[in-house]
Chains A and B, each alone.
Chain A
């Protein structure tokens, strides 16, 4: 009897086109949009490239010219310099072709168009030149014999810093949007979880009424529908992960099987959440559906699906909310697979999801058992 109910639940669920649209097609469309919009954006936004700068020489300064030459040549140049007149330089700056204009007169001055990091680096460069000039001038006044030693100290190539970049499977800041997309698929699986109640409760649907008066024990019937909805949502998740990994080539790294595992467990949690919501919210299917969608999308908002910046704010200011939000937990599990070399934090998130699933399912069972109907 169990397998009969299980089989027919899956068949009837797959025939509901809306489920296919929301759990398979919508994530695919969103994935394509994210891919188009965020492709290469991290590199464009963060990667350091030589800063395009114009130099306008009002007065000749051979030392500064040498310094400029030094920083605009080599493998890792700081500036990409072009010498030009004031008018052309200003035109270039307004058009956005350069980040700043260095004016070489009696002193060095700078004209910029904004206050971003590029402009700050330009200012740091000119400040450095002026600092060295000041140190030499001050020393020349005090003790000119020290100038050679001082110049040597300032011009020596030094390496004061050991850089230790954090190794991650993907250094793409925007990859979190794809994690959130999978978390959305999992959270929206709650809609399939609603069926566990609406298809087994006599006051919810004619099918529920039919099942309640059938000789099949309620536990068997409920378990069959619950496992069926877990299976359907897990399949939707597998399709979504496969689409992102193999069609859109999202960098999930070498731990793809674990991404599948995390996604499947997440979708099971989402489905159980739907079961719990349906058992707690009294009323029509539409009402239960509205609550499930609000909770799911609210969770997705807090985990950064709509505005990515909200995620770190909640991680820092309200860590407990981040631990209790199923969407955030799913999203974090993928993120830890990306950033950590070990598995500790990933396993922690998996255990949290398993615990959530157990609690949601238990609440669902408690609130749906032993129901009697005076009338339906």
Chain B
């Protein structure tokens, strides 16, 4: 088992890198987990609104108080333009001077001023909200209320709530646009990074011309040589997969409950695909110095093209067309079903995982052919 020992010896030198990647990924995942939510009950979106009250009257204060019950009134330490651009504030509302007087006189034009960067849903929502509020106050005054009562009655009337229910699919709620959040969505990026940055240099060291020539003239049979490398690779892939599956269980409550156990299969297949990609990279690259670059390019390319970083539903047609030819695309398809971003369909999930497995087989065959070709060309 000399080759296996050598494999493990080189692998040991990469321990720091593995720890670094794992810690960085966990830190990122903790951030992502805080932003994820499970939608079992409908909750209205609350906007972060900055309000400038230039009128400063009981009527304007009543409006601010009412807005505060529906949204979050915030103050921004950043310049308001920057806050709107980066989305820390959704809406900037100015209650113009003379608001109360104009409202009492029935003049509605230009009661408010708003600033926004994007013509977004938030802007449309707030515009409609303010229209509704003023309409209600006007209706109450038309019904004979004085201004103070009208403001109160309008707020009370606007508290009327429609009964809202959530629809459920087999694996949770399906929302056409959002992709699944959480640990398993970002896993392809880290698996690819860990496989290429660790496994490729190890393979390159073992397959270095001088080392292989030395091995070839030793008593180790080529089949045994291959099997020992394979064993080392399998142990590494298995160890990384188990490590992340345990981390997944710790970070996501009930990650493997219900249909969640498919996360194990899905990520297992992808770990094998990543390992074969790493083997191919080790055969195609001229030197170890370029491994980091190749690792970054491949992992980021696949992540961006397949919906790891940006939800698949938001990707353009061209990107989706390219993504179909990459294994991570099918991984994300299954992952989206399991997180409820897409409707769960058992036969489709199985079909997608078979496509992933097909990629693993194809990459394995290519790696084998390439290895034999390289071996022969060196023997010549």
Chain B residues with CB below 8 A from A114, complex form: 39, 166, 173, 175, 178
Chain A residues with CB below 8 A from B132, complex form: 124, 128, 131
Interface string of B122-143 (1 = CB under 8 A from A): 1111011111101110111111
A window 42-59: CB within 8 A of B: 42, 44-48
B81 lies within 8 A of A339 (CB):
yes
B258 interface hit (Cβ, 8 Å): no
A30 lies within 8 A of B300 (CB):
yes
Measured CA separation A34–B142 after assembly (Å):
55
A163 and B123 in contact (CB under 8 A), knowing A126-B162, A150-B139? yes
Contact for A96 among B113, B163, B176, CB less than 8 A: B176
A94 lies within 8 A of B157 (CB):
no
- Interface size (A, Cβ < 8 Å)? 91
The segment from B197-205, B236-244, B309-317 that touches chain A is B309-317
B window 4-37: CB within 8 A of A: 28, 31, 35, 37
The segment from A218-226, A239-247, A312-320, A361-369 that touches chain B is A312-320
Contact for A18 among B45, B289, B301, CB less than 8 A: B289
B72 interface hit (Cβ, 8 Å): no
Contact for B139 among A101, A153, A307, CB less than 8 A: A153
B143 lies within 8 A of A315 (CB):
no
Contact for A33 among B175, B301, B314, CB less than 8 A: B301
Measured CA separation A368–B35 after assembly (Å):
47
The segment from B82-90, B212-220, B264-272, B360-368 that touches chain A is B82-90
B224 interface hit (Cβ, 8 Å): no
Chain A residues with CB below 8 A from B140, complex form: 135
B305 lies within 8 A of A115 (CB):
no
B45 lies within 8 A of A116 (CB):
yes
B183 interface hit (Cβ, 8 Å): no
B47 CB, nearest partner CB in chain A, Å: 9
Contact for A112 among B117, B164, B296, B300, CB less than 8 A: B164
- Interface size (B, Cβ < 8 Å)? 91
Q: Report whether over half of chain A's contact residues are helix, strand or loop; otherwise say mixed.
A: helix
A129 CB, nearest partner CB in chain B, Å: 8
Chain B residues with CB below 8 A from A142, complex form: 143
| Chain B residue at minimum C-beta to C-beta distance from A166 | B117
A149 interface hit (Cβ, 8 Å): yes
A window 107-144: CB within 8 A of B: 107-121, 123-128, 130-132, 134-135, 138-139, 142-143
Contact for A160 among B35, B130, B144, CB less than 8 A: B130
A165 lies within 8 A of B169 (CB):
no
Measured CA separation A319–B293 after assembly (Å):
32
B142 lies within 8 A of A124 (CB):
no
A371 interface hit (Cβ, 8 Å): no
B30 CB, nearest partner CB in chain A, Å: 12
Q: Mark B residues whose CB is within 8 Å of A.
A: 28, 31, 35, 37, 39, 42-45, 76-78, 81-88, 108-125, 127-132, 134-136, 138-144, 157-158, 160-167, 169, 173-178, 289-290, 293, 296-297, 300-301, 304-305, 309-310, 313-316, 318-319, 322, 342-343
Q: Mark A residues whose CB is within 8 Å of B.
A: 18, 21-22, 25-26, 29-30, 33-34, 36-42, 44-48, 78, 90, 93-97, 99, 101, 107-121, 123-128, 130-132, 134-135, 138-139, 142-143, 146, 149-150, 152-154, 156, 158-166, 168, 171, 173, 176, 306-307, 309, 311-312, 315-316, 319, 335, 339-340
Closest 7 CB pairs of A and B: A96-B176, A312-B86, A114-B175, A117-B121, A37-B304, A153-B142, A126-B162
Known: A46-B119, A150-B143, A173-B86. 20 other contacts (CB 8 A): A33-B305, A37-B310, A42-B118, A48-B120, A78-B128, A96-B177, A111-B165, A112-B166, A124-B128, A130-B161, A131-B132, A131-B160, A135-B139, A149-B142, A166-B116, A173-B87, A307-B31, A312-B83, A312-B88, A316-B78
